[in-house]
Amino acid sequence: MATVLTSVTAAQRLDSRGKPTVQVDVETSDGKFRAIVPSGASKGDYEAVERRDGGKAFGGNGVLEAVQNVKEVIGPALIAKGFDLKAGLKEIDSFMIDLDGSSDKSNLGANAILGVSLACARACAAANGIPLYEFLARETQSRRQDFVLPVPFLNVLNGGVHSGNPMAFQEFMIAPVGAASFAQGIQWAAEVYQELKAIITKTFGKAAIGIGDEGGFAPPISKPHEALDLITEAIKAAGYEGLFKIGIDPASSEFFHDGQYDLGFKSSEPQKLSRAQLTDLYQGLVGKYPIALLEDPFAQDDWDSWSAFNQICKVSNVELVGDDLLATNIRRIEKASQADACNSLLLKVNQIGTVSEAIAAAEKAFKLGWSVFVSHRSGETTDDFIADLTVAIGCGHLKSGAPCRGERVAKYNRLMDIEEELAAKKIASSYAGEAFRYAHANAGS
């Protein structure tokens, strides 16, 4: 007997920055399933388009039009079609894409479409009587024989447009690659985070332990090496020297203007670097600190810099992640492949607007021999969907912010739940650890 949608509704709710976002509820004979859509601050030009209301309410950021589109357009159309949720999500997502009719989901709004896609994924899992991560794994082209728990990359120092300090680089992340399990990795990371708090307090005073959008501290520092020195000191103080790697997301599109990169863009004193000078800065940092990953080190259309730097990363074995460069979009992935511009995809479901397209983007990246790095957004919600998605595709690593703030910790808590559930069911699983970049290739399929 088919399981179909009996109700689709939506409401305007708030994300972690207090901005409106779309909440969707779908109902079937199995119950009610909810999803809440995240939103980014540093958005690339190639992302799917959110529908915002304009006007005075919430500074123009209201989403009542997107909510109305769910209630009056998407929901009734889906119910009329009567999709069997046991058959999976792809036809539902394809139908919504066609219903929107634009190339960037701007007609109905990517926030409207994604909310329905996320909620329907949960309903599909329930219709099949399986956990969400197992359902999403079935939605991939190749069924996995085991599950991989990811290495968490925790953003413990914030800068860029995510904080009010003068630091240009947006994120400095710690990754507990030497842990034996996800739960142990989170424990270690939380301990390093507390050591970092103590060090910042001692160095700059209690006023300096305010946090940015993703829960990382935002002390009054402006130079990348200052952040990295604080992090390495905290790792050592916690007793885990040599067991962590570091990731950096400069989000450089935010400070690229007229062919130069201005590291002083948040202050009154410009610090403009050429492409070559910025490359030299990165190489110096990689040579001095245990940096395993660089995300968006150059602007989204600075193709020559990306391609040249990727050759350097191949030698230094650094994961070069495209975020704004790729926007979780297969066309951009193909262009980057032709230009040999990076070796990893940052996977943000709301950049593309449906779960099925996000999975397809990940599979395209895997076929190219790339890594895939799942990500939250700076304007997050307590929805923990990406935790299940990360396990489902076996990509080996994700970022969800610091071990602080409920909307960040929700993802980490869900991953610990999944790890325990798999162990209790005696289902084969492992922690990605040092081999996080190649977890998908190394696991059975």
Is 295 assigned to a binding site? Answer: yes
Out of 50, 134, 195, 214, the active site residue is 214
Out of 50, 348, 407, 411, the active site residue is 348
Is 425 assigned to a binding site? Answer: no
Identify the three-state secondary structure at position 131.
Answer: coil
- Catalytic-residue membership of 90: no
Could you tell me if 361 and 328 are in contact, meaning their C-beta atoms sit under 8 angstroms apart? yes
End-to-end CA, the chain: 30
Buried b (16+ CB within 10 A) or exposed e, 279-301: bebbeebbeebbbbbbbbbbbbe
Buried b (16+ CB within 10 A) or exposed e, 139-172: bbeeebeebbbbbbbbbbbbbbbbbebbbbbbbb
Is 323 assigned to a binding site? Answer: yes
Could you tell me if 10 and 67 are in contact, meaning their C-beta atoms sit under 8 angstroms apart? yes
Is 47 assigned to a binding site? Answer: no
The span from the CA of 110 to the CA of 95, in Å, is 14
Is 122 assigned to a binding site? Answer: no
The span from the CA of 108 to the CA of 250, in Å, is 32
Parallel/antiparallel/unpaired status of strands 397-399 and 371-375: parallel
Strand partners, 344: 321, 371
- Catalytic-residue membership of 214: yes
Is 171 assigned to a binding site? Answer: yes
Q: What is the dihedral of CA 190, 192, 194, 199, to 10 degrees?
A: -170
Is 378 assigned to a binding site? Answer: yes
Instruction: Read off the DSSP letter of residue 138.
Output: H
Is 399 assigned to a binding site? Answer: yes
Number of Cβ within a 10 Å radius of residue 72: 11
Parallel/antiparallel/unpaired status of strands 147-149 and 429-431: parallel
- In the annotated binding site, the residues are 162, 171, 249, 295, 323, 375-378, 399
Residues labelled as active-site residues: 214, 348
- In the annotated binding site for Mg(2+), the residues are 249, 295, 323
- In the annotated binding site for substrate, the residues are 162, 171, 295, 323, 375-378, 399
